[in-house]
Chains A and B, each alone.
Chain A
Amino acid sequence: MTAKTIIVLLGFLAAFSLFAYRVYIRFRHMRLGQPAGPFDRWGARLGSVLEFVAAQARLFRYPGTGLAHFFIFWGFVLLFPTILQAILEGLVPGLVLPVVATFGPVVLLQDLIALTVILGVLYGLYYRLIVRPERYKGSHQFEGNLVLVFIFTIMVTLLCSNGIRQNLGAARVAAGWQPVSALLGKPFAGLSPHAQEIVEQVCWWVHLGVVLVFLTLLPLGKHFHVVTSIFNVLLRNLEPPGRLAPPVRVDGSEGAGRVEHFTWRQMLDWYSCSECGRCQDVCPAYNSGAPLSPKLLIMGLRAHLLERGNALLAQNGQAATQKAVLDKRLTGDVLPDDVLWACTTCYACDQECPLFVEHVQPIVDMRRYLLTQQRGDQQLTAALESLRRYGNSFGKSDKQRAKWTTGLDFNVKDVRKQPAKTLWFVGDYASYSPALTEVTQATARVFQRAGLDFGVLYDAERNAGNDVRRAGEEGLFELLAQKNAAALAKCQFEEIVTTDPHSYNTLKNEYPAGLGAAGVSPAIYHYSEVLDRAIQSGQLTLRRKLDYTVTYHDPCYLGRYNGVYEAPRRVLAALGCRIIEMPRNRDRALCCGAGGGRIWMDEGKVKERPSENRVREAAGLPGVDCFVVACPKDLTMYRDAVKTAGLEERLIVKDLAELVEEACAGGPQPCGANALPVDTQAGSPCHT
């Protein structure tokens, strides 16, 4: 055995042991977590791995870096035998893997793949160092760049060796099969054969060294995703996005107050975070200047798991440092309260993450803990107090819930007394907010015109609890859900339609099955879907074409959470409106900032409210002067935002139902060309 062999074997041994040790540590830490699973639906899971690991589907949501990553990833996978060959050959001269090293077309492919990897890396370095996008802010950028340099080195040394071997006539295939290598070998062709051999040796050692160092570094940081991502995607959450996992217990000790209160599955998420910052890039809280970054949250959890895991598992480490670490509070010290309260639960981050790392769930887990510790803000807890006492966040009597119906010229059925085909779950905002009474009445009139046999629950309806749950008040969510379920069980109806996408989400995804009488599960719709149906089926006759140019805002809980994008657009198109999309539309729509209980909380200090940012986006669309929404909270948020952003003259915020009523020409105040003030451009919705 030569000295070289011994050194290499020792190197291998050292690198692999260090790698294994570091993985083992992380594995042990993960075992501090709570149980997770069982995992089923393996077909869908394997499909996910093909789609999201092999095809990297989500990465392409950012096309440039997505493509670069795709090349680097596949380059590495495909070049693995090549790299192995190169290392083994240096060790055992004459060792040749069949095909990999000898079959011309395969070698050509390797050569070209290596080139794409190099190009991918160069693009990555350009992107990180020259473009410097905001999304990398806070990531371990040195590590990111270092690894790119590593990969670059691995590839270049490989190609150089090949090239030199071509120069020396020692290659196993003709130079034509290794064009890139031959090119890289050129500069050395002038050296003496001996000198070229030395260069080749240097390349070999550097190649090997970098491969081994890279291996040991993998588990330490963001590049652990190379190993964990397959498992992370394989074991991803297959539940609908709108279904939060309930706490294991709801007995006053719920929620995550310590890192070990999370499940091991959640910890695997954190190990998998590649710090790419896509989540941060799309986060409305981050972009409004709030203290939350979903990326830094995950990185913080990972770092804290490491230090706390070490401290917990240390046998007899340094007591003082150990104590300092153990005394560190997860909520408060590691993640300040205001970080956790800033989230609107808009789901943009979860949806964007290429590796299916979840953010909303751990945030809600920690909010649950904060609330058990009485660490909710004043406004939030006042709203919760009202919700507990009155079943609505307005602190109004349940007897006033259906007061809006008194302004109608027909009676709205009380489903508790009379059966109706459609049970309209009106929701708090549409029921109580004085500013929305008109719109709720318009919705009722449109339903009536469409011949919908509908009724409401009157005093028996309670807040559906979607945002109560996301604010972390699980017990109250259960209470509200029980009350609603009990009321629904006594009524005769076939389907539920909601005004509020938030109610829609929780009724559809989180309420127990069998909400109807006799335990039948009713279909659940959003009013935009019901309007779409009524128009498409001809039940609702549109009398007037609305010649407006509008933009439509997708509510988070309708769009991203439940995939309803087309129904409201079809309605608008049927009305005759031209829809001009905002740059951020459909699943990329910006959250209005109200979700997850944010609407009840103190706003805190922000640079620019998400809702103002959003109306500015709309105002930037030429020709658009109507901003259409399909959520009562949106109506509230955006009517406010056009005022505070000074865009009142530029944009009018309309609910979808208002426009439908206008097209039916049955509204109390017909609104359109005839009713327009003289100075308003014809063809815009009337400014009221």
Chain B
Amino acid sequence: MNIVVLIKFVPDLVEDLEIDASTSLLDRSFLRLIPNELDEHALEEAILLKERLGGTVTAITVDFGDVDETLFTAVAKGTDRVVKITGEDFSQGVSNEKLAAIFQGVLADLPCDLILTGTQAVDDLDGFVGALLAERLGLPYVGYVTKIDVQDGKLVARKEYPGGLNADIEISGPAVLGIQAAEKPPRYVVTSKVMEAMKKASIDEQEAGEASVEAELPVQRMSLPETGARAEMIEGSAADVAAALLKLFRERGVLA
């Protein structure tokens, strides 16, 4: 099975996020970008599948900046081919619609059996990229996938629903799957293997084609969460606290 994994880079939340002067964008000047965590799960799932079923894994990302190390790490983990889409300055961020269009362009020349990507990202909790891309490619899309299996020659994706429900969905033909979690946490490859990959592997650079985007969702205003004085500390001895709690529960109608 030949699997393509799409990786995008998102702001690293260990840094303090700031909003720029336009008030509709993140201030990217000091931002650290890291690969989207669920995309890393998608890559892991792809490699697990390859180890089980054979085939190839291709990882594709857009040149957001420092992406090479991530791609070489992917090689060290077992990815056969890594592609970096260049052509424009993407470091200021790319909208989901545009990203889907760019990926579509590259995938046109890259026949594959399965396209995996993270089901969402910290900057895209709606999980648009996979679905938009599937729409563009005319392929089925399943999100929130936690497991991929082959039964009787057919692909079966396990989709997780809220409330602990799972559904096993049979897929025929190529499809786009949004991965919620790989079967195992993404593997750690030793640094020496990453270094070896840097020496031996090469990144396939491809120009982004003309990406036509029909509709985008422009951001009007971005803001940090407004913190109100919500929390009320109850202090005193255990008995005082218990009494205050009881009173509160009664007031708010939790207890009769």
Contact = CB atoms under 8 A, between A and B. Distances in A.
Interface of A: 250-252, 254, 371-372, 374, 376, 378, 381-382, 384-385, 388-390, 395-397, 399, 473-476, 478-479
Given A371-B190, A374-B187, 5 more contacts: A252-B196, A372-B193, A382-B188, A396-B14, A397-B15
B76 interface: yes
A631 to B, nearest CB: 26
B182 to A, nearest CB: 13
Contacts of A252: 76, 190, 192-193, 196
Contacts of B191: 388, 473-476, 478-479
A372 B190 contact: yes
Contacts of A372: 190, 192-193
Contact of B32 (A381, A382, A397, A479): A397
16 contacts: A250-B192, A250-B195, A251-B195, A252-B196, A374-B187, A381-B187, A388-B191, A390-B14, A395-B14, A396-B14, A397-B12, A399-B15, A475-B190, A475-B191, A476-B190, A478-B191
Nearest to B32: A397
A258 B185 CA distance: 27
B194 interface: yes
Contacts of B196: 251-252
The 6 closest A-B pairs by CB, nearest first: A475-B191, A475-B192, A381-B188, A252-B193, A476-B191, A250-B192
A397 B14 contact: yes
A371 B15 CA distance: 29
Contacts of A250: 192, 195
A251 B192 contact: yes
Contacts of B188: 371, 374, 376, 381-382, 384-385
A376 B190 CA distance: 10
B187 A254 contact: no
A212 to B, nearest CB: 52
Nearest to B199: A251
Interface of B: 12, 14-15, 32, 34, 76, 185, 187-196
A96 to B, nearest CB: 67
Contacts of A371: 188, 190
A475 B12 CA distance: 24
A254 B185 contact: no
A371 B14 CA distance: 26
A467 to B, nearest CB: 15
A374 B14 contact: no
A378 B185 contact: yes
Contacts of A374: 187-189
B190 A389 contact: no
B169 to A, nearest CB: 29
B225 to A, nearest CB: 20
A474 to B, nearest CB: 7
Contacts of B12: 397
A409 B192 CA distance: 43
A395 B37 CA distance: 14
B173 to A, nearest CB: 33
A677 to B, nearest CB: 18
Most A CB within 10 A of own CB, among B15, B190, B193: B190
Contacts of A382: 188
A663 to B, nearest CB: 35
Most A CB within 10 A of own CB, among B32, B189, B192, B193: B192
A475 B194 contact: yes
A623 to B, nearest CB: 35
Nearest to A479: B191
A555 B173 CA distance: 61
A624 B13 CA distance: 46
A620 B181 CA distance: 50
A250 B32 CA distance: 29
Contacts of B34: 389
Nearest to A400: B14
Contacts of A397: 12, 14-15, 32
A381 B9 CA distance: 22
Nearest to B30: A399
Contacts of B194: 475
A252 B185 CA distance: 21
Contacts of A396: 14
B74 to A, nearest CB: 14
B92 to A, nearest CB: 21
Given A396-B14, A399-B15, A254 B189 contact: no
A185 B32 CA distance: 90
A609 to B, nearest CB: 26
B185 A474 contact: no
Contacts of B187: 374, 381
Nearest to B13: A397
Most A CB within 10 A of own CB, among B14, B32, B191, B196: B191
A337 to B, nearest CB: 15
A396 B15 CA distance: 8
Contacts of A390: 14
Nearest to A374: B187
Contact of B195 (A384, A385, A399, A475): A475
A254 B14 contact: no
A475 B190 CA distance: 7
A250 B195 CA distance: 9
A479 B34 CA distance: 19
A371 B194 CA distance: 13
A8 B129 CA distance: 90
Nearest to B193: A252
A385 B187 CA distance: 10
A252 B191 CA distance: 8
A564 B115 CA distance: 58
